[in-house]
Structure 1
Amino acid sequence: MDSGQQTRQTVIVMRHGDRIDNFEPLWTEKAARPWDPPLVTNGKVRAFCTGKNLKKELGFPIHRVFVSPFLRCLQTASEVIHAFCAVDVNDTHMSSADGVQIDPSKLKVSVEYGLCEMLNKRAIRAENAPKDGNFAFQIPECEAVLPQGTVDSTLEPVYKELPKWEEPTETARDRYKNIIKTLADKYPNENLLLVTHGEGVGVSVSAYAPKPVTVFEVNYCAYSMLERTISNQEIGGFELCPIVAQNGISYTVDEN
């Protein structure tokens, strides 16, 4: 940067869309991967429309997307990326990625294990988890879900592998806090979108809220927005934009 140059970095942390097993409880009984449900159609629509609204409201570009390897997050990221990169996103009839023409040069996306679901019984029912603890995610298979031409497969994930099954909740929360800051520090001159799970979005709020808070609900496709100042002298601390309550995140301010 030139002397005195200063800019702002924005990091958006988003939950995935509506997952099928919460609408069709019997889905898991026949699924080959019951721990990895896809989105329902409404979930894809919600994700696309969230991306469409974000593009309209932000007023600045998202340069890079990082996404959990779980299918529901990959599909959410795909819908949002289609909205961000659509050649004509203002076309009012568009409500999902189907048939949307994109310009893949607008951003890059990579799979990041550090954004994965909490791997414990609090987040994944024990009967749905793989018996051997192997969740069997393969990066090339994950990348195939994402829009062609947008994937940056040259990047090494910050977390080289998934956490072990029965990951303690506090360990998972520390992981989410770490991965948000690590990715932001790695790309300080880029605005980022991180597509993850409800707990990750909750941590992005509790870790950076100006006062101690307890997050008790994160809706599908809810998102937080973190901002900080970047200059040639220093990198400032993140500030939580005061919009989270309007974007599907509910919390209480801790009194003590």
Structure 2
Amino acid sequence: MSACAQTIYIVRHGERLDFVDRLWRRSNPERSYDPPLTDKGLLQAKAVGQEIKSKTLDIKHVISSPFSRCLQTAMCISETLGSQSVGISNGLCEVMNPNCYVTRRVILPTPQLESLNVTLDDSGIDCPLPHFPEQFRDAFHRYASAFEAAADKHWPHNLVLVTHGYGVQRALNLGLSTVAAFQVEYCGYVVLERESKRPQWKLGESVGAS
């Protein structure tokens, strides 16, 4: 990747437990929309942290969606990068739509941070949760705004933003200036770069997003 004034990594969370254990949602009806990572997902998160570390040592903050699977992923990445905490941005959250297994209004932050071994810092962005049900076009606009808000707050520092599959799709759309749909693997990511504070983002790299 070329040297740029600011680089952000937009990363999808690791493997979610409810896609492996199909009984998990039934056993956790109050948190059915918010599964944690599997053991494999934790390993994926650590691996992507190592991959990012090998490419740049200059990550200032890791900021996450408030969903448990993202916070766990973010914390693994943060620890791998030598930090011990993460920020939260509600703008990075899952699309509030039944097609994303969100079947009712979500009350967040609900994650049990202590049980997830997550420590928060003040690097996040204070913004409200989207309303349920949320349309996908509104979610894509929200993701773009969340990326820009985090990048502007911490300009010109480099960041890792941990979000959901549709968030990484949106990042790839921004980098390619298209509205095409893409598939995003667990812990797949897109790298966006910019030379100054208000230009169009450029795609630096995409891994596991095609």
Contact 1:176 1:203 in 2 (8 A): yes
1:214/1:46 Cα in 2 relative to 1: closer, same or farther (>3 Å)? same
| Equivalent of residue 117 in structure 1, options 94, 100, 103 | 94
How far has the Cα of 1:83 moved from its partner? 1.0
How far has the Cα of 1:54 moved from its partner? 1.3
Contact 1:81 1:147 in 2 (8 A): no
- Please report the TM-score for the alignment, with normalisation by the length of structure 2: 0.89
C-alpha distance in structure 2 between counterparts of 1:11 and 1:167, whole Å: 26
Unaligned 5+ segments in structure 2 are: none
Confirm whether residue 248 of structure 1 aligns to residue 200 of structure 2. no
Contact 1:111 1:143 in 2 (8 A): no
How far has the Cα of 1:141 moved from its partner? 4.4
Q: 1:30-179 alignment to 2 at 5 Å?
A: 30-31=27-28, 32-56=30-54, 58-85=55-82, 104=84, 109-124=86-101, 129-130=103-104, 133=105, 135-138=106-109, 141-142=112-113, 145=116, 147-148=118-119, 151-153=120-122, 157-159=125-127, 161-179=128-146
Confirm whether residue 202 of structure 1 aligns to residue 169 of structure 2. yes
C-alpha distance in structure 1 between counterparts of 2:198 and 2:61, whole Å: 19
Q: For residues 62-105 of structure 1, what are the alpha-carbon distances to aligned partners after superposition, in whole Å with 9 as ceiling and x for unaligned?
A: 101110000000111111112111xxxxxxxxxxxxxxxxx54x
Which of the two has higher C-alpha Rg? Answer: 1
- Residue identity matched to 2:173: S
Aligned position for 2:154: 187
Unaligned 5+ segments in structure 1 are: 1-5, 86-102, 251-256
3-state SS of paired residue (2:171)? helix
How far has the Cα of 1:225 moved from its partner? 0.2
3-state SS of paired residue (1:138)? coil
C-alpha distance in structure 2 between counterparts of 1:235 and 1:174, whole Å: 17
Greater Cα offset, 211-220 or 179-188: 211-220
- Residue identity matched to 2:187: C
What is the percent sequence identity of the aligned residues? 33
How far has the Cα of 1:37 moved from its partner? 0.5
Q: How many residues align?
A: 207
3-state SS of paired residue (2:45)? helix
Q: For residues 159-206 of structure 1, what are the alpha-carbon distances to aligned partners after superposition, in whole Å with 9 as ceiling and x for unaligned?
A: 1x2111111110001000111112112211210110000000000011
- Please report the TM-score for the alignment, with normalisation by the length of structure 1: 0.74
1:22/1:144 Cα in 2 relative to 1: closer, same or farther (>3 Å)? closer
For the aligned residue pairs, the C-alpha RMSD in angstroms reads 2.3
3-state SS of paired residue (1:74)? helix
1:123/1:147 Cα in 2 relative to 1: closer, same or farther (>3 Å)? closer
Contact 2:75 2:86 in 1 (8 A): no
Contact 1:82 1:147 in 2 (8 A): no
Aligned position for 1:229: 195
After the TM superposition, which segments of 4 or more aligned residues of structure 1 sit over 6 Å from their partners?
none
- Residue identity matched to 2:185: N
